[in-house]
Structure 1
Amino acid sequence: MTPALEPLRRIAAYAVATDDEGRVLLVRASAKSGTPGVWSLPGGAVDHGEDPNHTVVRETAAETGLSVAVTGLRDVLADMRSLPHRGVTIHTDRLIYSVSVRGGTLIDRVGHPTDLARWHTLEEAERLKLRPFAAAALGLSAASADLRPDVPPTFPSFYAYEGPDGLHRAQRFAAYAIATDPHDNLLLTKIAPGYPGGGRWHLPGGGTDYGEQPGPALLRELVEETGQRGRIVELLGVASHRDAASLGPEGYPIDWHGVRAFYRVVVDHPTEVTIHDVGGSTDDARWMPLKDVAALAADQLTEVTADALRAAGLI
């Protein structure tokens, strides 16, 4: 049995970089970390309000001495890890990016959570002790395992804390669906009054639960919000949005930072839309022909929905 530990959540971004010989860049955890001697992808926590694209560039430079540029999003993963020496269990939503190296020189770091940065062939990497998420991102089997709690701890779906300026802060990871049926209809939900964006059309989805993977979380949300059962076709991208004084049902301003993963979802057998989560943030939901979606005024869609639909080429 793992001991009772304080649950924490964070969002982090990591880089998959390869050189001209096909080797992958890895960093080694030092004695100052919870997993000394274990190798991982370079990267780290997304600061409040920070775009994950910037996080992965910043963290890679700090841990390796190399300047990189993001070339694409590879995957979004989640895991739980218990750290008894710190008295915490951490759920981390991990954004995995492909990057290209622009320049710099590999550095060793003394007195930091990572101390070495090295290029390894995949064959060499598979013989190393790798963090499970890094092995999964590289398509390798993990030679080490994180200590996990026996049962996911209880953690609120909404958690705000006081920031250094005295304003409450909240950072949340969520997954949303661009869901279509065989008849070129798009599934949209309308945000209930009293919530940020109230009265506007939004994509179905929402925040993931503690210990939950983004894909299953999205399909769960799809059923709860609309009664539809879909299948995920592909990961489309990730968006970061900050509202420094968001007003919601809490009744006070919150410095809100949302990081959202967007997926293309197909509902092969659409049914009558039913909102199961009555009294929540969803006020209405319906199938809408794509031509009608394209005709909606700009103020009828949430900003993130409009951005996602444009990126998918639907408006």
Structure 2
Amino acid sequence: MTRTRVITVYGRLPGGTEEIGGPIRHGENPASAVVRLFRESAGLPVAVSGVRDVLALTTPDLHEDRVLFDVVPADAPGRVDAEPASESELPKGQRFAAYGFVTDRAGRVLLTRIAPGFPGAGRWHLPGGGTDVGEQPAEALLRELYEETGQRGEIVELLGVTHRRSSGLVGPEGYPMNWHAVRALYRVQVPEPSTPSVTEAAGGSTASAAWFEPGDLAGLPVTEVVQWAASLPATGE
């Protein structure tokens, strides 16, 4: 049986237990979505203060990728992005993925290079990828980390959630699509690093993997997610 997949966002007020939210629209910023849903469902103006958790909720018929935000009351309605214009001529796809800013104890950063034929080919990216049906985001990341680099990692913390709308890109499907990706980003440490190697299970989207010194990243062609993660302060782990 094929399970329906949906991406949802929910918010929780300080000291509360009730979660308010619902499905995210195609192309919508997840943080803006939870502000919109609080306004529509409860008539409450709120602002996002942080990301509490990212998890998958599954039933025999449904796989729900849920982002849970911490929200606080706002004096005025929070900013809500306008719903992106529909591009009906292109097939739509929505994808939930998990990626890791992966380091070893020496501070080196592990990156993967996108293979030819995939969007962003040739650029260095964070290890990770789309989650499978029934799979938790953190579990998916550690699986992808091993498939793409041969490294065994440990989750340190959830860094945040980003999204990207890419219209007209041609990937392995062979035709242009209107993609919307929601991505959970984690900090990961590899306690026993080795020479990276791409396994057959990676599925062909990863051309190679390598460790880099932090100072080397500025000279590499990297994705915007690498830039975002590298700009975050270290946790002291």
Report if TM-score (shorter chain) is over 0.5: yes
* SS across alignment from 2:3: strand
* SS across alignment from 1:174: strand
Contact 2:87 2:178 in 1 (8 A): no
Residue 226 of structure 2 corresponds to 305
Contact 1:61 1:67 in 2 (8 A): yes
User: 1:164: how far off?
Assistant: 6.7
CA deviations on 1:258-310 (whole Å, 9 max, x unpaired) are 111111101010012111136510001011111112x325xx00122222222
* 1:290 partner amino acid: P
Are the structure 2 counterparts of residues 280 and 291 from structure 1 closer, same or farther at C-alpha, using a change threshold of 3 Å?
Answer: same
CA deviations on 1:192-221 (whole Å, 9 max, x unpaired) are 011000000000001111010011111111
Q: TM-score, normalised by structure 1?
A: 0.68
Residue 198 of structure 2 corresponds to 275
Work out the CA distance in 2 between the residues paired with 1:312 and 1:203: 17
Is residue 248 from structure 1 mapped to residue 171 from structure 2 by the alignment?
yes
Residue 12 of structure 1 corresponds to 8
Work out the CA distance in 2 between the residues paired with 1:69 and 1:176: 25
Is residue 62 from structure 1 mapped to residue 40 from structure 2 by the alignment?
yes
Work out the CA distance in 2 between the residues paired with 1:312 and 1:285: 24
User: 1:312: how far off?
Assistant: 4.6
Residue 83 of structure 2 corresponds to none
Identical amino acids, percent of aligned pairs: 49
* 1:305 partner amino acid: V
Aligned residues: 225
**Alignment equivalent of 1:188, drawn from 108, 111, 115:** 111
User: 1:166: how far off?
Assistant: 2.9
* 2:105 partner amino acid: P
Aligned runs of 1:155-174 on 2, under 5 Å?
A: 165-174=88-97
Work out the CA distance in 2 between the residues paired with 1:57 and 1:51: 10
CA deviations on 1:199-258 (whole Å, 9 max, x unpaired) are 000000011110100111111111111000010000001101001111212221110111
Work out the CA distance in 2 between the residues paired with 1:91 and 1:259: 15
Are the structure 2 counterparts of residues 284 and 45 from structure 1 closer, same or farther at C-alpha, using a change threshold of 3 Å?
Answer: same
Is residue 76 from structure 1 mapped to residue 54 from structure 2 by the alignment?
yes
Asked which structure has the greater RCO (Cα within 8 Å, sep 6+), the reply is 2
Aligned runs of 1:141-156 on 2, under 5 Å?
A: none
Q: TM-score, normalised by structure 2?
A: 0.89
Is residue 45 from structure 1 mapped to residue 41 from structure 2 by the alignment?
no
Is residue 100 from structure 1 mapped to residue 78 from structure 2 by the alignment?
no
Which contiguous aligned blocks of 4+ residues in structure 1 show a shift greater than 4 angstroms? none
Which blocks of at least 5 consecutive residues in structure 1 are unaligned?
27-40, 83-88, 105-162
Contact 1:25 1:42 in 2 (8 A): no
* 1:96 partner amino acid: L
CA deviations on 1:69-123 (whole Å, 9 max, x unpaired) are 10111110111134xxxxxx1111110101111258xxxxxxxxxxxxxxxxxxx
Give 1 or 2 for the bigger CA radius of gyration.
1
**Alignment equivalent of 1:204, drawn from 127, 134, 145:** 127
Work out the CA distance in 1 between the residues paired with 2:13 and 2:169: 37
